[in-house]
Structure 1
Amino acid sequence: NDGKKIWWDLRPHPFFPTLEFRICDIPTRVDDTVAIAALFQAIVAKLTKLIEKNLGFRLYRRMLIQENKWRAVRWGLDGKMIDFGKQKEVPTKDLVRELLEFVDDVLDDLGSRKEVEHIHTILERGTSADEQLRIYRETNDLKAIVDRLMELTLENVPRDVNLTVGQAATAPSAIAK
């Protein structure tokens, strides 16, 4: 009876007219968080566009999706995932680049091209998890990791932003201005 108790990767919010993506942790860097949110928005817009044009897309078995999800958790961007169309393993980064190409035609209408293109930076630089592992290998010091996480959390945090929640929710690029 409580919508908050449903633990799907994607679900309608129990109180707001929105979808919740419960797929990954929030990244440490604000720019990365905005980029991933903009990518999720672009995926929804692209799929909506396909449905409105009566175009379909493939549905895959839950077991296969779960396998790729596990691989993402275990190996991150440097791992491999199953490309269902090719029926073989490919580098995860290649699939992310393919996803970016898939949503490219909706980015300008959404006003989020810059934010989504930041995903390329993440692919090159790595994730916060990659950074944490690197620091631990170099220092063997958990405090050094916490110190770096604090630095990264404050990196590119907008100062003196005067936006309403509604404005921020509808245009990720408004946050960066």
Structure 2
Amino acid sequence: MTTTVGLSVLVKDTGESARTLQHWSDLGILKPVTSTHKQGRGYHREFPAAPPWHGERTWALFASHLNRIRIPLGDIKLIIDSLRPFTTDTAALGEPPIGWQKHLQTHSIGQALSGRLVVLLIGIDENKEVRCAEILGAPSAEAIKEVEAVFPKGTISDKEDFTIIKDIDASIPWEFIGEFASNYMLNLEKVFAPLTGAQS
């Protein structure tokens, strides 16, 4: 079990340049192991990467996808800082009494790392407060395709039709639309594909 990785693994995961990832480390978006951070020439940064949360590999992938949709670096840091406590605090304490599999299901990031299809809506208000809401959850993308095959667009009509989609949760929190000037949607299954092996 690998507990730390070098910059080259993050480069491979994200497709970002080494210099970009170093810059993100300098800004605090990524958090290298303290003893390897800013040590000068000849020292290479190492990043926490222990399963099941995969440490900074998770956040490098998350930051890379936010960067691709041109979210400012300051906002990327805000978003990741708001989500990071759900993963790092529990990983540092060791395996929870309920076990990792059940514990991962308590948060959208954990669900996605377990292979579940999760679409996350992220909003930042004028006070730089970050709010996230899961707007779609399904066992997999294949489950969504199965529903589309049975019910073409617009044909789900009554409660009985919904029995086939009992494992799929979908909702749009309308307060996001009215309250936030900027909203971003991420398909976490695709974001974390290099960690989970999901086909993207």
User: Which structure has more RCO (C-alpha within 8 Å, separation ≥ 6)?
Assistant: 1
Q: How does the TM-score come out when normalised to structure 1? A: 0.29
Q: How does the TM-score come out when normalised to structure 2? A: 0.27
Q: Which has the higher strand share?
A: 2
Q: Which has the higher helix share?
A: 1
